[in-house]
Amino acid sequence: MAKVTWSRVVMNQEIDRLINSIVGRLDKLNLLEISGCRWTVSGENGKHKTMNYPEYDICELKLNEKFNLIIAEMVWEHLPYPNRAGNNVYAMLDTPGFFVISVPFMYPIHNHPIDCTRWTPIGLRYFLSECGFDLNKIHTNSWGNKDCVISHNQEPIYYDAEKHSLINDPNMPVSVWAVAQK
């Protein structure tokens, strides 16, 4: 298993499961990945495009293309205008299209280049509805526990199954994620 920070283990597993279930429902995959390149799963007739923030400012610019899957892992907390960015994502999605987003919650401020916002699972759900997504088509989740929160206030810790618990305490979320369908 590749090294992964403790705060991302469960989130990565859940996002992998979500994306694989979405990909299985699409005839072809037209994927936009914002600030990442973890997903290279475009099918025979599909495409995969990566745009990196802040070079690509999703708050100010929507691409003149349509995608059926847009993924933004751990970038929305850095955006000065997250609603503008959410509206741009909604406009770039085909119908039906899916937006998968993850954000930190109880995690130290990390200015790359800035750090602006945190959402709870319910807050992320309502944020996405303000960007145009139907509340009934938004599913959120979170993971964390006190030990992970404390350890990450010092520096990110790589997961060690013998030392680190993956038991979830819903009152101590380290990471929050959602999938929203247009």
33: β partners: 50, 71
Sheet holding 175-181, edge to edge: 47-51, 30-34, 67-73, 93-104, 175-181, 138-143
Range of the domain at 39: 6-181
DSSP classification of residue 158: B
The pTM for the full model equals: 0.93
Cis peptide before 121 (omega within 30 of 0): no
Q: List, for residues 79-90, the tens digit of each pLDDT value.
A: 999 999 999 999
Q: List, for residues 147-175, the tens digit of each pLDDT value.
A: 999 988 777 799 999 999 999 999 999 99
pLDDT for the residue numbered 72: 96
Task: Report if residue 149 sits inside a domain.
Answer: yes
User: CATH code at 145?
Assistant: 3.40.50.150
Total residue count of the chain as it appears in this document: 182
Task: Report if residue 1 sits inside a domain.
Answer: no
Q: List, for residues 103-159, the tens digit of each pLDDT value.
A: 999 988 889 899 999 999 999 999 999 999 999 999 999 999 999 999 887 777 999
Q: List, for residues 90-105, the tens digit of each pLDDT value.
A: 999 999 899 999 999 9
As a whole number, mean pLDDT of residues 45-59 equals 88
Task: Report if residue 46 sits inside a domain.
Answer: yes
With contact defined as beta carbons under 8 Å apart, do 127 and 77 qualify? no
Q: Please tell me the total count of domains within the chain.
A: 1
